[in-house]
Amino acid sequence: MLLMLCWLHLLQERNGLCKIFKQLNMRTVIFLLLLLCCFFEKTYSQKVKNDFFALHNIIRGDSIYNTFDKQVSLIKSTGYDGIEINQVESFEGMKEALDKHSFKASYFYVKINLDTPYIDKRVEGYIRQLKGSKTIIAPFIISNLKFTPGNGKADTLVVRLMQQLAGWAKSSGLQVATYPHLVF
């Protein structure tokens, strides 16, 4: 808006390039510019539709909603778009409940442990089961090993494992978004 007002001011000061603006008072011009902005806002604005989803932590461990089936049913009934699959150990039970309730896995939280030079073998198959679901694969990286800063060993390992995970996700039409843990 400020840019438009500056442009208008420059046009008014030029040698009669914009006689119409000279005949209008500034309030009218501002009103017309605001109206024009409101009219074009819907045309040029970007619409982003992200899932409104629950992390499994909000209900995991509950004494009443103590099965994946009950948890998915509750979360779906409260209006969420989906729920997280919390790690590989939960995948099969959660996926079964999601399928039963026709509900979405919005997020698959995957551990990458640098203490072992590979990703859990089940992850590739689980990602294939999510093919086309728009689930976000969210790796978190941990290690108990002490990597020496600056030697690149941890970086090399992380890059290799993330590329492997990204390849699996790409072949299933899914995206990867790193979950940034610190001191986990």
pLDDT digits (tens, 9 = 90+) for 119-172: 999 999 999 999 999 999 999 988 888 887 777 888 899 999 999 999 999 999
Q: What is the pLDDT averaged over residues 34-55?
A: 70
Per-residue pLDDT of 67-117, as tens digits, reads: 999 999 999 999 999 999 998 999 999 999 999 999 999 999 999 999 888
Does residue 42 or residue 146 have the better pLDDT? Answer: 146
Pairing between β-strand 53-54 and β-strand 104-113 as defined by DSSP bridges? unpaired
Contacts of 108 (CB under 8 A, 6+ apart): 84, 85, 91, 126, 127, 130, 135, 136, 137, 138
pLDDT at 1: 47
